[in-house]
């Protein structure tokens, strides 16, 4: 479609939860409480790891990084969403929209890589315990963390570049509570075919690679512990690995449905529900699943509370 005589749009209207006015106050309070829990829980975990030298090992450095990324991911959208629930004008400029999308992709992609790295770390710790200090050194841990963030940045840069080539001149209504790529592609008056292709190739490849790493790592872990024929070990394995896989499933499930399946099959309300899982629910669950179930973290927390009582 030609855009020569069309007015290019520089502001967008985020519909968010506008179609549920009767739920404004309950939803605002719910998301506010959840967001405060995310901030306190994840930043508290980072502070705990930072202040306890006994937790300065790869496993907890990965946990601290995951807590940081969860906070970043949720903070990219939740404050704007809370403001928009009661705001009369739910407008967001094109530049703000692009910045929000860029920040979202970096944090979401980095989390994918971190979950894969953490699964690999657990595989080495459980299946090769004697070699763990030799293989998973703090130096390697830092390298893996840096690569995870670089991977997230490059992935965001690619999609941001392809998104900036589009023009918006028909509708400025984004049926979402933040600037995500799918709603933007739907309202573009340029041909978004290349964007869909790049999305499928890069997002699909990253998700397949990280999911495969996670599933293979935890499958080997489970078989390794099952071969030990220890009832206590089997229960612990299913408890730990099951909880981790639940968290991974809740995170990856919505991402796969949103970015890998054909766009024609997507519904706006479904997209918002899917997004709420990995922007709100997962950042709340991760500190519980990965940290509060960990004896060393609970011991460190108890020492901290006792020292400051």
Three-state DSSP string of the chain: CCCCCCCCCCEEEECCCCCCHHHHHHHHHHHHHHHHHHHHHHHHHHHHHHHCHHHCCHHHHHHHHHHHHHHHHHHHHHHHHHHHHHCCCCEEEHHHHHHHHHHHHHHHHHHHHHHHHHHHHHHHHHHCCCCHHHHCCHHHHHHHHHHHHHHHHHHHHHHHHHHHCCCCCCCCEECCCCCCHHHHHHCCCCCCHHHHHHHHHHHHHHHHHHHHHHHHHHHHHHHHHHCCCCHHHHHHHHHHHHHHHHHHHHHHHHHHHHHCCCHHHCCHHHHHHHHHHHHHHHHHHHHHHHHHCCHHHHHHHHHHHHHCC
233 or 26, higher pLDDT: 26
Q: How far apart are CA 19 and CA 129, in angstroms?
A: 54
Tokens representing 54? Answer: 């006994």
Instruction: Catalogue all structural domains in the chain, each as residue range(s) with its CATH number.
Output: 11-303 (1.20.1070.10)
> Is the pTM of the predicted complex or chain greater than 0.85?
yes
Q: How far apart are CA 88 and CA 221, in angstroms?
A: 52
Per-residue pLDDT of 120-133, as tens digits, reads 998 998 888 899 99
pLDDT tops 50 at residue 111? yes
Average pLDDT, the chain: 82
pLDDT number for residue 2: 45
pLDDT number for residue 168: 83
Per-residue pLDDT of 135-148, as tens digits, reads 999 899 999 999 99
Per-residue pLDDT of 63-105, as tens digits, reads 899 999 999 999 998 888 888 887 777 788 888 999 999 999 9
Per-residue pLDDT of 23-59, as tens digits, reads 778 888 988 999 999 999 899 889 888 988 888 888 8
pLDDT number for residue 259: 58
- Pick from 155-159, 245-249, 267-271: least confident: 267-271
Confidence band of 257 (pLDDT split at 50, 70, 90): low
Q: How far apart are CA 255 and CA 252, in angstroms?
A: 5
Question: Among residues 187, 11, 190, which one has the least CA distance to residue 95?
Answer: 11
pLDDT tops 70 at residue 20? no
pLDDT number for residue 101: 93
């Amino acid at each position: 479609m030609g855009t020569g005589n069309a007015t290019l749009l520089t502001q967008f209207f985020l519909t968010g939860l506008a179609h549920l006015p009767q739920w404004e106050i309950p939803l605002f309070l719910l998301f506010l409480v959840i967001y405060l829990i995310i901030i306190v829980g994840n930043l508290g975990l980072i502070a705990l790891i930072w202040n306890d030298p006994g937790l300065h090992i790869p496993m907890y450095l990965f946990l601290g990084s995951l807590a940081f990324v969860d906070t970043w991911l949720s903070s990219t959208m939740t404050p704007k969403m809370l403001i928009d629930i009661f705001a009369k004008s739910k407008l967001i400029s094109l530049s703000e929209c692009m910045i929000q999308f860029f920040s979202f992709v970096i944090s979401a992609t980095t989390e994918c890589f971190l979950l894969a790295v953490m699964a690999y770390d657990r595989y080495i710790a459980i299946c090769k315990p004697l070699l763990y200090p030799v293989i998973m050194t703090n130096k390697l841990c830092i390298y893996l963390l840096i690569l995870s963030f670089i991977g997230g940045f490059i992935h965001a840069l690619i999609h941001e570049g392809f998104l900036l080539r589009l023009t918006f001149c028909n509708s400025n209504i984004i049926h979402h509570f933040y600037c995500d790529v799918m709603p933007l592609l739907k309202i573009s008056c340029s041909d978004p075919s290349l964007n869909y292709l790049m999305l499928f190739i890069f997002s699909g490849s990253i998700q397949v690679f990280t999911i495969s790493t996670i599933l293979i790592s935890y499958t080997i872990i489970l078989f390794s512990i099952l071969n030990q024929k220890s009832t206590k070990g089997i229960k612990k394995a299913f408890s730990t690995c099951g909880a981790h896989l639940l968290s991974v499933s809740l995170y990856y499930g919505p991402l796969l449905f949103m970015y890998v399946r054909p766009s024609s099959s997507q519904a706006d309300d479904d997209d918002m529900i899917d997004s709420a899982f990995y922007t709100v629910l997962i950042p709340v669950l991760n500190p519980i699943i990965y940290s509060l179930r960990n004896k060393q973290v609970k011991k460190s927390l108890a020492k901290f509370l006792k020292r400051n009582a």
